[in-house]
Structure 1
Amino acid sequence: MERAEVAQWMLTALRRDKCLYQDDVVDYLIKNNDESHLTENTDGNQVLGRPLLNEFLNLTRNDVVWVRSGFYWRYRVAEDEPGRNARG
Protein backbone atom coordinates (compact mmCIF):
# COMPACT_ATOMS: atom_id res chain seq x y z
CA MET A 1 0.00 0.00 0.00
CA GLU A 2 1.12 3.52 -0.66
CA ARG A 3 1.86 5.71 2.35
CA ALA A 4 -0.93 8.15 1.39
CA GLU A 5 -3.42 5.27 1.21
CA VAL A 6 -2.51 4.09 4.72
CA ALA A 7 -2.73 7.64 6.09
CA GLN A 8 -6.16 8.00 4.52
CA TRP A 9 -7.25 4.70 6.10
CA MET A 10 -6.02 6.06 9.44
CA LEU A 11 -8.06 9.23 8.98
CA THR A 12 -11.17 7.23 8.06
CA ALA A 13 -10.76 5.05 11.16
CA LEU A 14 -10.27 8.14 13.34
CA ARG A 15 -13.41 9.75 11.94
CA ARG A 16 -15.40 6.58 12.54
CA ASP A 17 -14.15 5.77 16.06
CA LYS A 18 -13.20 9.30 17.28
CA CYS A 19 -9.80 7.97 18.35
CA LEU A 20 -7.11 5.86 16.71
CA TYR A 21 -4.67 3.62 18.58
CA GLN A 22 -1.21 3.13 17.16
CA ASP A 23 -1.49 -0.61 17.89
CA ASP A 24 -4.60 -0.82 15.70
CA VAL A 25 -2.69 0.67 12.77
CA VAL A 26 0.24 -1.68 13.35
CA ASP A 27 -2.16 -4.65 13.46
CA TYR A 28 -3.89 -3.46 10.27
CA LEU A 29 -0.58 -3.25 8.41
CA ILE A 30 0.58 -6.67 9.63
CA LYS A 31 -2.74 -8.30 8.71
CA ASN A 32 -2.45 -6.76 5.24
CA ASN A 33 1.13 -8.03 4.84
CA ASP A 34 2.52 -4.51 4.61
CA GLU A 35 5.19 -3.95 7.23
CA SER A 36 7.06 -1.47 5.02
CA HIS A 37 5.54 1.43 7.00
CA LEU A 38 6.68 0.03 10.34
CA THR A 39 9.90 0.32 12.27
CA GLU A 40 11.18 -1.19 15.50
CA ASN A 41 11.53 1.05 18.55
CA THR A 42 14.23 0.74 21.21
CA ASP A 43 12.03 -1.66 23.19
CA GLY A 44 11.77 -4.01 20.21
CA ASN A 45 8.14 -3.16 19.43
CA GLN A 46 6.85 -2.44 15.96
CA VAL A 47 5.67 1.15 15.61
CA LEU A 48 4.71 3.43 12.75
CA GLY A 49 7.61 4.80 10.76
CA ARG A 50 8.31 8.53 10.52
CA PRO A 51 7.28 8.86 6.84
CA LEU A 52 3.80 7.48 7.58
CA LEU A 53 3.47 9.61 10.70
CA ASN A 54 4.38 12.70 8.68
CA GLU A 55 1.80 11.81 6.03
CA PHE A 56 -0.88 11.46 8.71
CA LEU A 57 0.25 14.71 10.33
CA ASN A 58 -0.23 16.52 7.03
CA LEU A 59 -3.86 15.34 6.95
CA THR A 60 -4.63 16.16 10.58
CA ARG A 61 -2.24 18.91 11.67
CA ASN A 62 -4.77 21.34 13.14
CA ASP A 63 -7.53 19.14 14.51
CA VAL A 64 -5.91 16.01 15.96
CA VAL A 65 -3.65 15.48 18.98
CA TRP A 66 -1.48 12.58 20.12
CA VAL A 67 -2.14 11.22 23.63
CA ARG A 68 1.25 9.87 24.60
CA SER A 69 0.09 8.04 27.74
CA GLY A 70 -2.40 5.96 25.75
CA PHE A 71 -0.56 5.79 22.41
CA TYR A 72 -3.52 7.11 20.42
CA TRP A 73 -4.74 10.09 18.42
CA ARG A 74 -7.99 11.93 19.08
CA TYR A 75 -9.67 15.08 17.94
CA ARG A 76 -8.57 18.30 19.59
CA VAL A 77 -10.83 19.78 22.28
CA ALA A 78 -10.96 23.33 23.62
CA GLU A 79 -8.94 22.38 26.71
CA ASP A 80 -5.95 21.18 24.66
CA GLU A 81 -2.89 23.39 24.62
CA PRO A 82 -1.37 24.40 21.28
CA GLY A 83 0.77 21.74 19.63
CA ARG A 84 0.39 18.15 18.62
CA ASN A 85 0.61 16.44 22.03
CA ALA A 86 -2.22 16.24 24.55
CA ARG A 87 -2.05 15.68 28.25
CA GLY A 88 -3.33 12.45 29.63
Structure 2
Amino acid sequence: MDAESIANWMLSQIERDGCIYQDDVVDYLVKAKEESFLRENSDGNLVVGRKVLDAFRKLTESTVVWVKPDFYWRFRVAEDEPGREARG
Protein backbone atom coordinates (compact mmCIF):
# COMPACT_ATOMS: atom_id res chain seq x y z
CA MET A 1 0.00 0.00 0.00
CA ASP A 2 1.24 3.49 -0.80
CA ALA A 3 -0.06 7.04 -0.29
CA GLU A 4 -1.54 7.20 -3.79
CA SER A 5 -3.52 3.98 -3.38
CA ILE A 6 -4.87 5.24 -0.05
CA ALA A 7 -5.84 8.55 -1.67
CA ASN A 8 -7.63 6.65 -4.43
CA TRP A 9 -9.46 4.55 -1.83
CA MET A 10 -10.52 7.73 -0.03
CA LEU A 11 -11.89 9.17 -3.27
CA SER A 12 -13.78 5.95 -4.01
CA GLN A 13 -15.40 6.17 -0.57
CA ILE A 14 -16.51 9.75 -1.26
CA GLU A 15 -17.91 8.67 -4.62
CA ARG A 16 -19.83 5.86 -2.89
CA ASP A 17 -20.99 7.61 0.29
CA GLY A 18 -20.78 11.34 -0.48
CA CYS A 19 -18.13 11.96 2.17
CA ILE A 20 -15.40 10.31 4.21
CA TYR A 21 -14.56 11.01 7.83
CA GLN A 22 -10.97 11.22 8.97
CA ASP A 23 -11.73 8.62 11.69
CA ASP A 24 -12.81 6.17 8.98
CA VAL A 25 -9.51 6.62 7.15
CA VAL A 26 -7.61 6.13 10.41
CA ASP A 27 -9.61 2.97 11.18
CA TYR A 28 -8.99 1.63 7.67
CA LEU A 29 -5.23 2.16 7.98
CA VAL A 30 -5.02 0.68 11.48
CA LYS A 31 -6.94 -2.44 10.38
CA ALA A 32 -4.68 -2.73 7.34
CA LYS A 33 -1.64 -2.45 9.66
CA GLU A 34 -0.50 0.66 7.76
CA GLU A 35 -0.02 2.99 10.75
CA SER A 36 3.08 4.44 9.07
CA PHE A 37 0.66 6.58 7.03
CA LEU A 38 -0.75 8.12 10.22
CA ARG A 39 0.64 10.66 12.65
CA GLU A 40 -0.25 11.82 16.13
CA ASN A 41 -1.64 15.35 16.37
CA SER A 42 -1.04 17.81 19.22
CA ASP A 43 -4.04 16.38 21.09
CA GLY A 44 -2.61 12.87 20.96
CA ASN A 45 -5.07 11.58 18.36
CA LEU A 46 -4.13 9.58 15.29
CA VAL A 47 -4.78 11.51 12.07
CA VAL A 48 -4.02 11.05 8.39
CA GLY A 49 -0.34 11.68 7.66
CA ARG A 50 1.15 14.25 5.31
CA LYS A 51 2.06 11.83 2.48
CA VAL A 52 -1.54 10.65 2.17
CA LEU A 53 -2.93 14.17 2.47
CA ASP A 54 -0.58 15.41 -0.26
CA ALA A 55 -1.54 12.54 -2.58
CA PHE A 56 -5.24 13.12 -1.86
CA ARG A 57 -4.93 16.86 -2.50
CA LYS A 58 -3.17 16.22 -5.81
CA LEU A 59 -5.97 13.85 -6.82
CA THR A 60 -8.87 16.07 -5.69
CA GLU A 61 -7.54 19.66 -5.63
CA SER A 62 -10.57 21.27 -7.26
CA THR A 63 -13.29 18.72 -6.49
CA VAL A 64 -13.15 17.93 -2.75
CA VAL A 65 -13.21 20.14 0.36
CA TRP A 66 -12.35 19.52 4.01
CA VAL A 67 -15.10 20.25 6.53
CA LYS A 68 -12.97 21.12 9.54
CA PRO A 69 -15.63 21.30 12.29
CA ASP A 70 -16.73 17.72 11.59
CA PHE A 71 -13.42 16.27 10.32
CA TYR A 72 -14.53 14.95 6.95
CA TRP A 73 -14.03 15.46 3.22
CA ARG A 74 -16.86 15.86 0.68
CA PHE A 75 -17.32 16.95 -2.90
CA ARG A 76 -17.27 20.69 -3.52
CA VAL A 77 -20.65 22.37 -4.10
CA ALA A 78 -21.46 25.70 -5.75
CA GLU A 79 -21.91 27.40 -2.37
CA ASP A 80 -18.36 26.61 -1.24
CA GLU A 81 -15.92 29.50 -1.17
CA PRO A 82 -12.63 29.16 -3.04
CA GLY A 83 -9.99 27.14 -1.23
CA ARG A 84 -9.74 23.70 0.25
CA GLU A 85 -11.76 24.19 3.43
CA ALA A 86 -15.57 24.38 3.72
CA ARG A 87 -17.75 25.59 6.53
CA GLY A 88 -19.94 22.52 6.68
Band of TM-score, shorter chain:
over 0.9
1:74 is aligned to 74
Within 5 Å, which residues of 2 pair with 1:42-53? 42-53=42-53
Name the structure where helix makes up a greater proportion of residues. 2
Within 5 Å, which residues of 2 pair with 1:24-39? 24-39=24-39
Report the TM-score, using the length of structure 1 for normalisation. 0.97
Q: Which runs of 5+ in 2 are unaligned?
A: none
**Secondary structure at the residue paired with 1:69?**
helix
2:13 is aligned to 13
Q: Deviations over 1:15-66 (max 9, x none)?
A: 1001010000000000111101000001100001111101000110001100
* Cα distance in 2 for residues equivalent to 1:74 and 1:7: 13
Deviation at 1:3, TM superposition (A): 1.0
2:40 is aligned to 40
Within 5 Å, which residues of 2 pair with 1:51-70? 51-70=51-70
Report the TM-score, using the length of structure 2 for normalisation. 0.97
**Secondary structure at the residue paired with 1:36?**
helix
Aligned length: 88
* Cα distance in 2 for residues equivalent to 1:64 and 1:5: 17
* Cα distance in 2 for residues equivalent to 1:80 and 1:16: 21
Paired amino acid for 2:39: T
Q: Which runs of 4+ in 1 moved over 6 A?
A: none
Q: Which runs of 5+ in 1 are unaligned?
A: none
Identity in percent: 60
